[in-house]
Amino acid sequence: MLNKDNIPVHVAIIMDGNGRWAKSRMMPRIMGHNAGLKAMKEIVKKADSLGIKYLTVYAFSTENWKRSEEEVSGIFKLLVSYVASELRELQENNVKVHVLGRWRELPDEAVKSLERLLSGTKEDTGLQLNIALNYGSRDEITEAAKILAGRVADGEIDPHDITERDVAEALYTGREAIPDPDLLIRTSGELRLSNYLLWQLAYSEMIFTDTYWPDFTPDEFEKAIEEYQERSRRFGGRK
């Protein structure tokens, strides 16, 4: 039974298994990504209805450029289509969208669509949907180190005085005051983080499911929240 008084503030998801879902059905991989977008739409609705404040999804990593040109191009076309079809509904549901990563390095049409998405939802005050695009956690941490090095060079801060909070605030999430995830969910049976939110997930609960992302339903999402609620979070301490 879901405890409405113990809903995680922030849930992060690695939406994995789109390609294998399509392959198992003898479909092109891009059909799996299309099905994955539909699944994401339903999970966003469910997260909002449960009272989750932040939902962060791993949509395209810095390593995904290694995939075929056809697949990468298809993913960005789906992104453009998603913005065109879902912007109004996101606005109607008061969902604010933020993008993590080097998204301005994406193809021009995708960048313009994202700018429209960000502008169109910036005044919304409900669920914040963070989309990690052209994102890699090591890249994020490296960039944070450069920011802190710049502050040191400018005499703004002594290197010996740098704190964990300073590092956290220099990350993409910290710049937007996004709290660390309480829960990470990864679909498709893989048991790794794949360069995703490495700093932020230090004390997050983690749930791994064999379900491919396109088959990950709102009911399964709710069951993951229920499993999270059964755990005792100690943050390195003892209880």
Per the residue annotation, which of 3, 5, 6, 16 is the catalytic one? 16
For tokens 């709290």, the residue is: 179
Contact 125, 48 (CB under 8 A): no
Both tokens of 191, joined, read: 């048991």
Q: What is the DSSP letter of 180?
A: P
Q: Rounded distance, CA 207 to CA 192, Å?
A: 11
CB 62 within 8 A of CB 195: yes
Q: Which of 48, 64, 124, 195 is catalytic?
A: 64
Give yes or no: 94 in active site: no
Q: Evaluate whether 55 touches 44 at the Cβ level (below 8 Å).
A: yes
Print burial letters for 149-159: b (CB count within 10 Å at least 16), e (below 16).
eebeeeeeeee
Residue 104 is classified by DSSP as G
- Alpha helices per DSSP H over the chain: 18-24, 29-50, 69-92, 108-121, 137-153, 164-170, 172-175, 218-229
64 part of the active site: yes
Q: Please, are residues 64 and 72 in contact by the beta-carbon 8 Å criterion?
A: yes
Q: Which residues are catalytic?
A: 16, 64
